[in-house]
Structure 1
Amino acid sequence: MKKLILVLGLLGVIVSCKPKQQLVSTTVDRKSQVAMKGSWTLTSVSFPGSEYFKVTSFEVADAKCFEGSTWEFVSNNDTGKMALTKSGCPAYASDFKWYVTKEQQVVLKFLNEGDKARKVTSGYILALGNQTLESFQLTDVVQVGNNKAKVVYQFKKNNSK
């Protein structure tokens, strides 16, 4: 019963995030998800094929403020933590729920303190690409005026000691 509620809750996230976007399945790609397990640093944010433009990532801060942010992905319970650490940017930290679909899309739901994941009905769908043991990219497509542009978030695995 809990799994059914979780699947229905995650489907609600997919529908409410980008309703004009084709729905993604809730079938999890465990291999890709397990490969993301661990501690990561978001090393760069780029806008391929476009001039720099101002993008507020995840409704939190300017996309460039995410450079140097730390991310922890826990694959066995689909949870995580992230924190912005860049000087001159707002201090921000959040827990999140996440999973990778068979279509290589990462679904993220940021949680405010006290939020229950199943009650959060909005989130983000990003394309997973160039995944190796040491790095991966998440790509978002944003509306800029009348055009669409890509925002690429490059992650590098932190060495464990």
Structure 2
Amino acid sequence: MMKRSLLFLTVMGLLLSSCSISKSARTQRNLFSGTWNLDNVYYENASGNFKSTIFNDAEDICFEDSEWFFRDNNSTGRYTIAQSSLCQGGDRFFRWSVVEPEQNYQSQLQFKFIDDKRKDISGGYGYRLNIVSLSEQSMTLNSNVSVDGQPVTIVYEFSKK
């Protein structure tokens, strides 16, 4: 009986430790928590002018000065786009997490859209942004896309509110 209990405790300990997030990911989650302003969206590795739809939602110009809120205790958040003649304003809700790097890669912010009742509305489809830098005051994320077969990097610069 004692051996069975010890085996059970060992298996449970392994399961719990394999499900936990690393100290690095926990630190990043804590830094994300709160309200951010998306100050600037720009493109690297490309020449010319770009006009793109970001997150299959709105044009890039609509995201500048958008407000982003991350709640780390339940992994939900939202971003708010201001209403204008070019932009459909309002709140967009999402569920988010920090994805640990695999061998020499950056950590990533991962999110998918949910409704105001926290139900998935994206069909399981989501987005990943590379975490270039993250501090208590500022954050830079980027994503690599392809335009006419050429790699382009979209850069998102945030400041903490």
Q: Same fold, TM exceeding 0.5?
A: yes
Structure 2: gaps spanning 5 or more residues: 1-19, 102-106
Q: Which runs of 4+ in 1 moved over 3 A?
A: 112-115, 117-120
**CA contact 2:115–2:121 (8 Å) conserved in 1:** no
Give the counterpart of 1:143 among 134, 141, 146.
146
Change (3 A) 1:115 1:36: closer
Secondary structure in structure 1 of the residue aligned to 2:51: coil
The C-alpha deviation readout for 1:33-65, integer Å capped at 9, x for no partner, is: 110110111000010232331211011111121
Partner of 2:43: 47
- The alignment status of 1:132 with 2:135, answered yes or no, reads yes
Aligned length: 133
Structure with higher RCO (Cα < 8 A, 6+ apart):
1
Distance across 1 between alignment mates of 2:54 and 2:61: 9
TM-score scaled by length of structure 1 = 0.75
For residue 118 of structure 1, report the CA deviation from its aligned partner. 9.2
Structure 1: gaps spanning 5 or more residues: 1-25
TM-score scaled by length of structure 2 = 0.75
Map 1:54-73 → 2, pairs under 5 A: 54-73=51-70
Secondary structure in structure 1 of the residue aligned to 2:44: coil
Q: How much is the aligned-residue C-alpha RMSD, in angstroms? A: 2.1
* Percent identical: 30
For residue 66 of structure 1, report the CA deviation from its aligned partner. 0.1
The C-alpha deviation readout for 1:98-119, integer Å capped at 9, x for no partner, is: 0112221010111235562498
Distance across 2 between alignment mates of 1:33 and 1:134: 14
